[in-house]
């Protein structure tokens, strides 16, 4: 019987064991090339590193290594330029690489898979892909955080109600509110960095599950790819998808934060709130109601969070019952991961555009400071300063609220005599001044509070954290094997 694994033949990588042809329906059902073609570039980079390691450990001859590295390098250039499309009869991207390489260089292509399985090959390619996508998401998240911090710096003295239960609670500044959203993104950036590090453990060299009998150097393969470490256990190496779940979770929580922000954009741009308006560039209309200005991008952004959350659920359900080593179920990890990454990327771009088209209305925010008795807590605090226990002060402040509501006025508008009657321990003139919303907001100068000096500190801290993120991004170097490929130095004495 003829060898079913002649490089370039288009036959499966596992054909030697079988005599009959695979059912076309099963082939179509199990084929992953339509979605794992995304990994082509990263699989080629990993293959370059694997071939170089095989050459350095004298498993590959110089002539074979030169042919393989040259062929892979040419394929990578063409994939990156778009000249070479990843398509064909192959069941996965790994088969496509070996077939295409075989068509170009012949017999040496069959030696590339020495000391390697599709199991560790999939793992390393997916990890490289994830790390590249995380870097892109972190760049976009940092840009959005920067925009929100800049907007906050413009509104240190723009006062508005702070809400609990969607009811007016206490006066805060718009800057304080925006920095809360910016702080959530800072947490997202920390999770993205953690997921990037989690994906930085190389499984290359783990083989199918038990390593290999060849004298390989997995640490060298990892170093050539810019990975931080190597798995200590080959069985775990090919089974682990924690980095996939962690990346999807980072995307889902990022999307949850974007959804909460988008919900406020929707709420604040209603006529009922009027705290903000949207430019024409980020608004859409109605097919029947000519007056409408709808925040559809914000609504879709809010809705897309469900997709990212669903990806996490899908991945955890996929992983929960799998025995160790590779199972083909793991083929299903890619589509939810890809969708989560794509959704987060598109949503960050939309959120940045929405931020640029969002115009705040300070006069409407100031008007909303009236009508909610927002400084009742400030009244209780003033009484506590005068020696009244807080529970008694709370009761007295409630009495003042009832009286103000009965009269249809604000707390700070109560007549001095009324204030003196309810709060005899305080000076009514000073008390009325302290109950004005802006004064009450400025008085909340505890760490993290809305007082301008505290928000200024938050802005400085946020910009400091942003600088660290951008420093981390700037220090993310391309894999050394890729630099060597671009410098045509793949068989040079050393690749640092």
3-state secondary structure of 167: strand
User: What distance in Å separates the CA atoms of residue 23 and residue 84, rounded to the nearest whole number?
Assistant: 29
pLDDT for res 287: 78
In degrees rounded to 5, what are phi and psi of residue 168? Answer: -60, 130
Q: Which two tokens stand for residue 109?
A: 């292509």
Element holding 172 (H helix, E strand):
strand 167-173
Once rounded to an integer, what is the mean pLDDT over residues 53-68? 97
460-496 pLDDT per residue, tens: 999 999 999 999 999 999 999 998 988 888 988 788 7
- Tell me which of 6-10, 220-224, 373-377, 492-496 is least confident: 6-10
Task: Give yes or no for a contact between 413 and 404, defined as CB atoms under 8 angstroms apart.
Answer: yes
pLDDT for res 382: 92
Q: Quick check: 2 pLDDT over 60?
A: no
Radius of gyration, alpha carbons of the chain: 31
Q: Quick check: 1 pLDDT over 70?
A: no
With a pLDDT cut of 90, the percent of the chain lying above it is 86
169-190 pLDDT per residue, tens: 999 999 999 999 999 999 999 9
- List 201's β-bridge partners, or say none: 229
Confidence of residue 10 (pLDDT cuts 50, 70, 90): low
Q: Quick check: 155 pLDDT over 70?
A: yes
Q: Which two tokens stand for residue 450?
A: 């809305």
128 burial (CB, 10 Å; 0-12 / 13-18 / 19+) is buried
Size of the chain in residues: 496
User: What distance in Å separates the CA atoms of residue 355 and residue 270, rounded to the nearest whole number?
Assistant: 16
268-321 pLDDT per residue, tens: 999 999 999 999 898 888 778 887 889 999 999 999 999 999 999 999 999 999
Once rounded to an integer, what is the mean pLDDT over residues 225-254? 97
Contacts of 483 (CB under 8 A, 6+ apart): 495
Confidence of residue 249 (pLDDT cuts 50, 70, 90): very high
- Cα maximum dimension of the chain: 108
- List 269's β-bridge partners, or say none: none
Alpha helices in 199-227 (DSSP H): 218-224
Residues forming the active site = 165, 286
Q: Quick check: 13 pLDDT over 90?
A: no
Once rounded to an integer, what is the mean pLDDT over residues 153-167? 97
Task: Give yes or no for a contact between 132 and 41, defined as CB atoms under 8 angstroms apart.
Answer: no
pLDDT for res 11: 63
Task: Give yes or no for a contact between 247 and 341, defined as CB atoms under 8 angstroms apart.
Answer: yes
pLDDT for res 25: 81
Task: Give yes or no for a contact between 51 and 72, defined as CB atoms under 8 angstroms apart.
Answer: yes
Torsion of CA 274, 279, 283, 289, to 10 degrees: 70
Once rounded to an integer, what is the mean pLDDT over residues 372-390? 93
Give the mean pLDDT of the chain.
Answer: 93
Which of 191, 305, 169, 189 is CA-nearest to residue 247?
A: 191
pLDDT for res 17: 67
Q: Which residue has the higher pLDDT, 110 or 2?
A: 110
pLDDT for res 24: 77
Q: Quick check: 74 pLDDT over 80?
A: yes
Contacts of 487 (CB under 8 A, 6+ apart): none
- CATH number for the domain formed by residue range(s) 130-148+175-209+234-363: 1.20.200.10
User: What distance in Å separates the CA atoms of residue 145 and residue 479, rounded to the nearest whole number?
Assistant: 28
The residue behind tokens 């000096």 is: 453
pLDDT for res 30: 77
Tell me the pTM: 0.93
Task: Give yes or no for a contact between 250 and 192, defined as CB atoms under 8 angstroms apart.
Answer: yes
Confidence of residue 7 (pLDDT cuts 50, 70, 90): very low
Q: Which two tokens stand for residue 206?
A: 């783990």
Once rounded to an integer, what is the mean pLDDT over residues 88-101? 95
Confidence of residue 3 (pLDDT cuts 50, 70, 90): very low
Could you tell me the residue ranges of all domains in the chain?
15-116, 130-148+175-209+234-363, 376-435
Confidence of residue 21 (pLDDT cuts 50, 70, 90): confident
User: What distance in Å separates the CA atoms of residue 82 and residue 112, rounded to the nearest whole number?
Assistant: 24
Task: Give yes or no for a contact between 345 and 137, defined as CB atoms under 8 angstroms apart.
Answer: yes
> How many CA atoms, within 13 angstroms, populate the side-chain half-sphere of residue 382?
29
274 burial (CB, 10 Å; 0-12 / 13-18 / 19+) is middle
Q: Quick check: 116 pLDDT over 80?
A: yes
315-338 pLDDT per residue, tens: 999 999 999 998 999 999 999 999
Q: CATH number for 15-116: choose from 1.10.275.10, 1.10.10.10, 1.20.1530.20, 3.30.565.10.
A: 1.10.275.10
Task: Give yes or no for a contact between 227 and 201, defined as CB atoms under 8 angstroms apart.
Answer: yes
Record: fold of 376-435: Ribonucleotide Reductase Protein R1; domain 1 (1.10.40)
- List 230's β-bridge partners, or say none: 202
396-455 pLDDT per residue, tens: 999 999 999 999 999 999 999 999 998 898 898 999 999 999 999 999 999 999 999 999
């Amino acid at each position: 019987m003829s060898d079913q694994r002649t490089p370039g033949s288009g036959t499966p990588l596992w054909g030697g064991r079988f005599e009959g042809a695979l059912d076309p329906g099963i082939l179509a059902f199990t084929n992953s090339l339509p979605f794992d073609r995304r990994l082509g570039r990263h699989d080629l980079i990993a293959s370059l590193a694997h071939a170089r390691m095989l050459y350095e450990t004298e498993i590959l001859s110089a002539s074979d290594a030169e042919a393989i590295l040259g062929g892979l390098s040419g394929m990578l250039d063409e994939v990156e330029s778009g000249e070479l499309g990843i398509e064909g009869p192959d069941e996965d991207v790994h088969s496509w690489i070996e077939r295409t390489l075989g068509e170009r260089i012949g017999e040496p292509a069959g030696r590339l898979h020495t000391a390697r399985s599709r199991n560790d090959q999939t793992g390393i390619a997916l990890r490289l892909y994830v790390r590249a996508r995380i870097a892109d998401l972190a760049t976009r998240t940092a840009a959005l955080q920067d925009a929100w911090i800049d907007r906050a710096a413009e509104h240190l003295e723009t006062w508005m109600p702070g809400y609990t239960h969607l009811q007016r609670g206490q006066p805060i500044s718009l800057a304080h509110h925006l920095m809360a959203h910016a702080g959530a993104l800072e947490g997202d950036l920390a999770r993205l960095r953690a997921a990037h590090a989690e994906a930085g453990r190389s499984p290359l060299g783990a083989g199918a599950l038990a390593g290999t009998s060849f004298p390989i150097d997995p640490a060298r393969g990892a170093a050539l790819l810019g990975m931080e470490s190597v798995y200590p256990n080959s069985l775990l190496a090919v089974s682990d998808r924690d980095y996939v779940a962690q990346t999807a979770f980072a995307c889902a929580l990022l999307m949850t934060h974007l959804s909460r922000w988008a919900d406020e954009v929707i709420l604040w741009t209603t006529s009922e709130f009027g705290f903000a308006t949207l430019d024409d560039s980020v608004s859409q209309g109605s097919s029947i109601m000519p007056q409408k200005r709808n925040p559809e991008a914000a609504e879709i952004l809010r809705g897309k969070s469900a997709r990212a959350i669903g990806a996490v659920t899908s991945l955890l359900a996929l992983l929960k019952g799998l025995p160790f080593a590779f199972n083909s179920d793991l083929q299903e990890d890619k589509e939810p991961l890809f969708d989560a990454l794509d959704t987060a990327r598109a949503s960050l771009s939309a959120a940045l555009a929405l931020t640029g088209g969002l115009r705040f209305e300070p006069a409407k925010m100031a008007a909303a400071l009236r009508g909610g008795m927002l400084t009742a807590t400030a009244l209780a605090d003033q009484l506590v300063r005068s020696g009244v226990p807080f529970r008694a002060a709370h009761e007295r402040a409630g009495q003042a609220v009832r009286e103000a509501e009965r009269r249809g006025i604000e707390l700070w508008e109560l007549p001095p005599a009324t204030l003196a009657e309810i709060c005899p321990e305080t000076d009514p003139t000073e008390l009325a001044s302290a109950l004005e919303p802006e004064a009450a907001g400025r008085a909340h100068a505890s760490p993290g509070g809305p007082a301008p000096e505290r928000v200024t500190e938050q802005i400085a801290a946020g910009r400091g954290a942003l600088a660290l993120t951008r420093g981390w991004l700037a220090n993310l170097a391309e894999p050394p094997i890729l630099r060597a490929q671009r410098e045509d130095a793949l068989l040079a004495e050393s690749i640092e």
